[in-house]
Structure 1
Amino acid sequence: MVVYQDSHSQTVDLSDDEVDRIFRALADATRRDIVRRTLTEEATISHLADHYEMSFAAVQKHITVLEGAGLVSKHRSGRERRIRGNPEAVQKAQHLLNAYERIWQGRIDRLDALLADE
């Protein structure tokens, strides 16, 4: 387990595998769009598939990747499968990015100080 702390002292406990799954899932534009759509409102797979020029099966595969990363969840409602975005997982990714930003900002600040001394 790796512990990251962002600039707001938010601690994020994620394994390297979890971090890899999240960012691999978010590396694809279609998957980012699916997360965006399902964070604002729940949607059926069919409804999501209508937005993309790809097969229903391809959209299902994207959803499977997102579900594996914890970015969305799938549940049955009657005969439909509904997809819901997971804001907590997106928040974890944001906190992780904030922690990386803090590391880089610290490096830039040290470089600025070094250059100012010369």
Structure 2
Amino acid sequence: MLNAQFSMKPDLYLLFFTDDCPYEEELQIILLDKHLKLMDGVKLGGMYTPGILSDIREEGENQLSFAFFSGIRTILQLHPEGFTQLIRRLPPRVRPLRHRFLGKHYLSVRNT
């Protein structure tokens, strides 16, 4: 289910989808370019881990924050120029949508 969508600079689109499964909810965040080509994405969730997407806020240019897991605020940062990282560092229960060894990443995620 599409829960939220954002138009980001420069000509990028960020989409938030959930599976609508109350006891094992999964959030997928997808970044598309202006031609609707998948650029990057992450999944948040885990087995028997409930989550509810709420309180999405723009925290400045190319940065959003939201709540998904109880008591945890998550910051999503868009890097339009992309970055390369040998080992992509993501918080617990967050994994990449696609594994790209030495590929460019455009989204970073951290918990507060």
State the TM-score, normalized to the length of structure 2: 0.28
Is the strand fraction higher in 1 or 2?
2
Larger Rg: 1
Is the helix fraction higher in 1 or 2?
1
State the TM-score, normalized to the length of structure 1: 0.27
